[in-house]
Amino acid sequence: MGTVSLVGAAFGILPSRHLVYSCTRNDNASNWRLLQHRPVIFSGTCAGKRKFLYNGPRGNKSKIVVLANADDSDDYADDEDALSSDGTELVEARKALSEARSGQHATQKERDHLVEELAQSKAKQEEDVANILREKDSAVGELQDAKSVLHQKLKESVEEKFALESKLVLAKQDALELAVQVEKLAEIAFQQATSHILDNAQRRVSAAETSAADAAFKIEEQIRTATEGTISSIIEQSKDAISRALDVAQKAGDHAARAVQVFTDGVGAVDEIASIKSDNIRLEGTVNDLESQLLLRKSEFEMLKVELEQVQKQAQASELRANELEKALFEFQESNKKQTVQKEDEINSFMEKLKEEAEERKEAASKVFKAELESIKSAIEAAEEAARSRDNAYKRRCEALERSLIASEAASKTWRQRAEIAESLILKEDEDEDAIYVNNGGRIDILIDDDSQKWKLLSDGPRREIPQWMARRIKTILPKFPPRRADVLEAPISKFKHLDLPKPDEVWSIAQEKPKVGDTLIEHVIEKETIEKKRKALERVLQRKTSQWQKTPVEKKLESGTGTGREIVFQGFNWESWRRKWYQELAPKAADLSKSGITAVWFPPPTQSVAPQGYMPSDLYNLNSAYGSVEDLKFCIEEMHSQDLLALGDVVLNHRCAEKQSPNGIWNIFGGKLAWGPEAIVCDDPHFEGRGNPSSGDIFHAAPNVDHSQEFVRKDIREWLNWLKSDIGFDGWRLDFVRGFSGTYVKEYIESSNPAFSIGEYWDSLAYEHGSLCYNQDAHRQRIINWINATGGTSSAFDVTTKGILHSALHNEYWRLIDPHGRPTGVMGWWPSRAVTFLENHDTGSTQGHWPFPRDKLAQGHAYILTHPGTPVVFYDHFYDFGMHDIITELIEARRRAGIHCRSTVKIFHANNEGYAALIGDTLVMKLGHLDWNPSKENNLEGSWQKFVDKGCDYQVWIRQ
């Protein structure tokens, strides 16, 4: 391979004119010929776009070198005189050529080293760029993760805030309930203490009055008896003495008359006189005796007087004592009144102290709660600030990485520029190809073709071993370049500017360097850790305090007809559920149902049945049905219990399908454990020849109707229900077709099995007139009420009346939702605690569609039943298949927050064609329809109300703050 050296250009001795040399080298490379050619024109003003032309065939293998002066722009001309014919110039040229060759070898080594460094630097730069991009992507990913974690924490903080607010509301309610209970207890204690004291005082006064009256009566009785006895004895004695004296006087008169007669007659006058004298003496003695007795009686009378005076004195003393007792009683009453007033004052003061203490505790609790809320807010703000700081740090880091990337790209551009310059020095042709060198202001540019493979090598880097032909071509680069002068024309269009950029190693170290103490990033990290520690400490303190504020769990009082009074039932199947292993599909939904606010799940009929839906039962103790095996049923019930959900079994007690035929071909012989015969079937069932008593209800013609008047039948049913409850795990019942037998039997079954909740399906037709629903449906709901009364109130019943009225009322006939007495229509308005409200079930909806609820009014219907008293039932299809999961969950949450239960009161404000508005309980207000109304427009509705649900013209719900 031949090499041409420009001696004049190397030593700067070329003339100012343009010279053209044609050099032909023989095999010995020693003979040079000067050939004169036609002018060859080169444009040396633009280094980026150099073009050349030359004349003459390429077959002569000659190399043409054009030496151009940058300061001279005239046309090229032939100048043969410029070369001396003297051979001295040739010798000098050969000498310069040998020197140039020796310098070329040194330059070639330096060029090889430069190219190798260039390739390594390019590869390293590309690797650095890739690493920086990966680091940037990872930083962006970390930033997104941090943002998602922050949003999650903020969401949790908001949820904690709502939970704390609900706990504060509960605490306030507990405080109010405690204050009310304390007032009631104080009033009861005061009444008991006062009544006890008054009763004692009254008893003492009455006892004193009784004793005083008894003493006075006894004294008066003694005086009366003593006086009457003494006087009567004196009178009797006086009468006796007088009568005796009269007898003696009469006798004396008789003697005197006889004496006079004798005297006159002259017969024994002296004797008569003597006898008279003796009689007078005796009479005088008798008179003396009478006088002495009279004196004795007088003395006794005096003594009685003295005793009477003493008795009177005693009576007076007793009277004085009675007066003293009355006075003492009066004083006692006065003192008792004073003590009572004092105790009332003490109790009032005690109550005031309790109220003050309750207020203080409430204020303290609210202050603590507010402080903790503030601390939580500050923690959240600090967390947000930390997140923002971290975001800023990530942004700064990303910016640094971007700057590093830009610097790397700039460096790569610089190296690419150098590579372009180096590439321009590489000749593409082989040994016999021409190389054209252009001198541009003291700098030599090597022209190469556009399809050079060196650009690909320098762009892609040394990915593989350099081939030999490439190594040979690299060696063709000229030696060290002289420094290039700044070209004024090139400066404005130059794409590369000098930047004070870090080296690639420094860029890599910035991207990978860990934070150090004192750096901004590490300060934010430390601040974040400190805030996180404070937040966790606040959470622990708050958890300890809220655990103290939690209400003491009260044992739930279950009532067979209403459960806890706050039940929300979920019908966990539809008419087509039997087609799948339903128990296995229903069990995983327990957690979601409990989280949504459901409290009880209504299971399909569990027994073996002639019809797959379960409503034609045969063997009651065989629970392997189309819905699944008995093991699947037990597992599903356990899943419900693990989420605190009641399991309600759908039991069919009205009828039962026989397994065998009688000798005359009638299906009335039952099988299984309860092997009944025709005596268990009512006699007025026309198809099954029952030998029991007449039915106590309507006849279900598709299967034998069970005679519940038979003792053995009731005994077997009671045992079966208790077996379902104890062995299988059911908590309550849904009773199918209860119109077929009397409610008194239902009462017996419920009292025996003691369910937590029970619902009776008393289905009856509403009243219609000319195809339209009548406004007055009192007869319909009265029939349902009568059945509930027959059960003794032990069971609830489906409020079919409310369902039927809602079908028409929600079509701008909201006036149907209020009865003439201002109460809700349906069973809800008369006996809300026993009303089970619903919109659809497996009979009315699903694939049967006997009485489907208007699809476009489902949201309004749920808003009505879930905010009103009674026990609402949510249908499976609505909750999971109709896309109403979130709507129903939101309404259940409103019901829970407002504390609505089955006995809540309803005050209806408006019910007309435009809409419906009502206050339920004391804490919830709801509106249906286009009615322009809100709580602030109601004069009799006080308090602050917060809108909880807003569905526009469909419904709106407010909750008292």
pLDDT in tens, 220-265: 666 666 656 666 666 666 666 666 666 666 666 666 566 556 545 5
Answer yes or no: is pLDDT of 436 > 60: no
The candidate with the shortest Cα–Cα distance to 652, out of 690, 619, 688, is 619
Q: How far apart are CA 346 and CA 324, in angstroms?
A: 31
Q: How far apart are CA 362 and CA 1, in angstroms?
A: 104
pLDDT computed for residue 395 by the predictor: 74
Cβ contact 733:759 at 8 Å: yes
Identity of the amino acid at 122: K
Cβ contact 713:706 at 8 Å: yes
Higher pLDDT, 360 or 176: 360
Predicted confidence (pLDDT) per residue in 868-901, tens digit: 999 999 999 999 999 999 999 999 999 999 999 9
pLDDT computed for residue 267 by the predictor: 45
pLDDT confidence bin for 688, thresholds 50/70/90: very high
Cβ contact 476:4 at 8 Å: no
- Tokens representing 800 are 């079919």
Predicted confidence (pLDDT) per residue in 84-100, tens digit: 444 576 777 677 778 87
pLDDT computed for residue 566 by the predictor: 94
| Ramachandran region, residue 429 (left: φ > 0; alpha: ψ -120 to 50; beta: rest) | beta
Q: Assign 773 to helix, strand or coil.
A: strand
pLDDT computed for residue 529 by the predictor: 73
Euclidean distance between the first and final Cα of the chain, in Å?
99
pLDDT computed for residue 35 by the predictor: 36
Cβ contact 760:738 at 8 Å: yes
Predicted confidence (pLDDT) per residue in 910-927, tens digit: 999 999 999 999 999 999
pLDDT computed for residue 241 by the predictor: 61
Predicted confidence (pLDDT) per residue in 745-792, tens digit: 999 999 999 999 999 999 999 999 988 999 999 999 999 999 999 999
- Tokens representing 902 are 């089955």
Percent residues over pLDDT 70 in the chain: 64
Q: What is the CA radius of gyration of the chain?
A: 63
Q: How far apart are CA 44 and CA 48, in angstroms?
A: 10
- Tokens representing 323 are 């007066």
CB-CB neighbours of 222 under 10 Å = 15
Catalytic residues: 736, 761
Which DSSP category does 82 fall into? Answer: G
Predicted confidence (pLDDT) per residue in 539-579, tens digit: 666 665 554 444 444 445 567 678 889 999 999 999 999 99
Q: Tokens 């004070």 identify what position?
A: 500
What is the pLDDT of the chain when averaged over all its residues?
A: 75
Identity of the amino acid at 805: I
Q: How far apart are CA 437 and CA 451, in angstroms?
A: 18
The candidate with the shortest Cα–Cα distance to 357, out of 154, 545, 139, 179, is 179
Higher pLDDT, 961 or 226: 961
Predicted confidence (pLDDT) per residue in 374-393, tens digit: 777 777 777 777 777 777 77
CB-CB neighbours of 546 under 10 Å = 17
- What's the average model confidence in pLDDT over 257-280? 58
Which DSSP category does 83 fall into? Answer: S
Q: Assign 643 to helix, strand or coil.
A: coil
Predicted confidence (pLDDT) per residue in 693-745, tens digit: 999 999 999 999 999 999 999 999 999 999 999 999 999 999 999 999 999 99
pLDDT confidence bin for 657, thresholds 50/70/90: very high
Answer yes or no: is pLDDT of 23 > 60: no
- Per-residue burial over 234-244, b = 16 or more CB atoms within 10 Å of its CB, e = otherwise: beeeeeebeee
Specify which residues 94 forms β-bridges with: none
Q: How far apart are CA 178 and CA 171, in angstroms?
A: 10
Q: Assign 713 to helix, strand or coil.
A: helix
pLDDT confidence bin for 331, thresholds 50/70/90: confident
Distances (CA, A) of 205 to 216, 329, 382, 762: 16, 6, 76, 63
Pairing between strand 924-929 and 955-960? antiparallel
pLDDT confidence bin for 30, thresholds 50/70/90: very low
Helices (H), 698-809: 711-723, 743-753, 778-790, 800-809
pLDDT computed for residue 120 by the predictor: 82
Lowest average pLDDT, out of 440-444, 641-645, 706-710, 729-733, goes to 440-444
- What's the average model confidence in pLDDT over 636-664? 95
Sheet holding 945-950, edge to edge: 906-911, 915-920, 924-929, 955-960, 945-950
The candidate with the shortest Cα–Cα distance to 798, out of 768, 756, 841, is 841
pLDDT computed for residue 494 by the predictor: 44
Q: How far apart are CA 543 and CA 913, in angstroms?
A: 51
Cβ contact 826:801 at 8 Å: yes
Percent residues over pLDDT 90 in the chain: 39
- What's the average model confidence in pLDDT over 403-411? 72
